[in-house]
């Protein structure tokens, strides 16, 4: 599994430009599904099973990044806008990678004689990317991702784009476990453009018309010094969402997940997230409504190049999703 994680997190795929990730995932799942197709927006959808309740499982392929706006008159410098949610406090000195492999370095201009190290800018207008000496000619509209190689520290994985390539890993490994044998019609949707508005999940939900939906994503933690007062922590198991600002999980869905985890002895924790949401928020309002839940992986340092997860939580998430889909997905009121 570690090698699959490495391949996915180090793959290039900013919002709206997920084609390299889609190609990689398609190669991984080509023998694991009964049917595979790409929809008009770019979602990769894999069907496993042909009878029973229709269950949509969504994990997004995109990662946050930037897009070049224009070149400064001084050669080698680009202004940019964001693709997804950036934290300006993390930008200075960060590396970005364009699709051809060119590496740029983010920095910021001084304002009113203030040192950028002592007074980091708060507006993207103050930042630029240094691409001095690059062979390619840059034009407005070229996207890039923040670049860093994956590292491990015992059971901890540190990488860019764990949000949400780790959800894609959970989906792929669950497909392996099912071995094309499920009493449900499982639609694994590897979605696009989640970080800019849950766009791929919205179209997938309308096209598939599921009876139940499960999003696979990351969640924040409360286990760092002086961190937010949240119950989620690394190494305590998969997180079963109960609430975020975009989704109040129906009791029938959360009970289904919690009871399955308890019966199978799967380590789990309850997730209540005060900020952020997932693909499930878009899917739940498709057509007449879809009961939707989320399996989350607790993650530190979100939206940085050093997002960190615990492999025990990833394995617990795979075990839970496999158990949910290996039995008929029938909700109890």
| Domain boundaries along the sequence of the chain | 2-63+160-326, 65-146
Instruction: Give pLDDT, residue 221.
Output: 96
Check: CB of residue 221 under 8 Å from CB of residue 234: yes
Instruction: Give pLDDT, residue 232.
Output: 95
pLDDT tens digits for range 191-242: 999 999 999 999 999 999 999 999 999 999 999 998 888 899 999 999 999 9
> Whole-model pTM above 0.85?
yes
Domain spanning 65-146, CATH class: mainly beta
pLDDT tens digits for range 100-130: 999 999 999 877 666 676 777 878 988 999 9
Smallest CA-to-CA distance from 96 within 151, 21, 24, 160 is with 160
Catalytic residue list contains 10: no
d(C-alpha 44, C-alpha 98), whole Å: 23
**Same fold across 2-63+160-326 and 65-146:** no
Catalytic pick among 18, 63, 173, 194: 194
d(C-alpha 37, C-alpha 29), whole Å: 12
More confident residue, 75 or 204: 204
d(C-alpha 80, C-alpha 68), whole Å: 4
d(C-alpha 124, C-alpha 322), whole Å: 42
Span 38-47, average pLDDT? 98
pLDDT tens digits for range 154-200: 999 999 999 999 999 999 999 999 988 999 999 999 999 999 999 99
Which CATH architecture best describes the domain 2-63+160-326?
3-Layer(aba) Sandwich (3.40)
More confident residue, 319 or 74: 319
pLDDT tens digits for range 310-333: 999 999 999 999 999 999 998 987
């Amino acid at each position: 599994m570690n090698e699959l994680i490495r391949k996915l997190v180090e793959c290039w795929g900013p919002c709206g430009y997920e084609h390299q990730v889609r190609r990689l995932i398609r190669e991984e799942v080509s023998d694991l599904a009964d049917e595979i197709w790409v929809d008009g927006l770019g979602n990769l959808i894999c069907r496993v099973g042909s009878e029973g309740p229709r269950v949509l499982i969504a994990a997004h392929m995109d990662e946050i990044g930037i897009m070049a706006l224009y070149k400064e008159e001084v050669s080698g410098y680009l202004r940019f806008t964001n693709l997804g949610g950036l934290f300006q406090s993390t930008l200075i000195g960060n590396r970005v990678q364009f699709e051809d492999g060119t590496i740029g370095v983010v920095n910021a201009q001084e304002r009113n004689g203030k040192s950028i190290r002592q007074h980091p800018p708060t507006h993207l207008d103050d930042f630029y990317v240094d691409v001095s000496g690059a062979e390619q000619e840059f034009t407005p509209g070229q996207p890039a991702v923040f670049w860093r190689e994956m590292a491990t520290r015992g059971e901890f994985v540190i990488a860019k784009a764990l949000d949400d390539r780790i959800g894609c890993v959970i989906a792929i490994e669950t497909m392996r476990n099912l071995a094309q044998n499920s009493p449900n019609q499982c639609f694994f949707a590897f979605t696009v453009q989640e970080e800019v508005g849950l766009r791929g999940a919205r179209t997938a939900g309308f096209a598939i018309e599921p009876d139940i939906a499960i999003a696979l994503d990351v969640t924040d933690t409360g286990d760092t010094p002086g961190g937010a007062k949240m119950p989620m922590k690394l190494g305590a198991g998969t997180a079963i969402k109960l609430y975020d600002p975009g989704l109040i999980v129906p009791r029938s869905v959360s009970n289904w997940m919690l009871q399955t985890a308890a019966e199978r002895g799967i380590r789990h924790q309850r997730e209540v997230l005060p900020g952020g949401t997932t693909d499930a928020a878009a899917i739940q309002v498709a057509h007449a409504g879809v009961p939707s839940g989320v399996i989350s992986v607790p993650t530190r340092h979100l939206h940085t190049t050093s997002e960190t997860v615990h492999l025990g939580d990833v394995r617990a998430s795979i075990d839970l999703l496999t158990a949910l889909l290996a039995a008929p997905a029938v909700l109890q009121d």
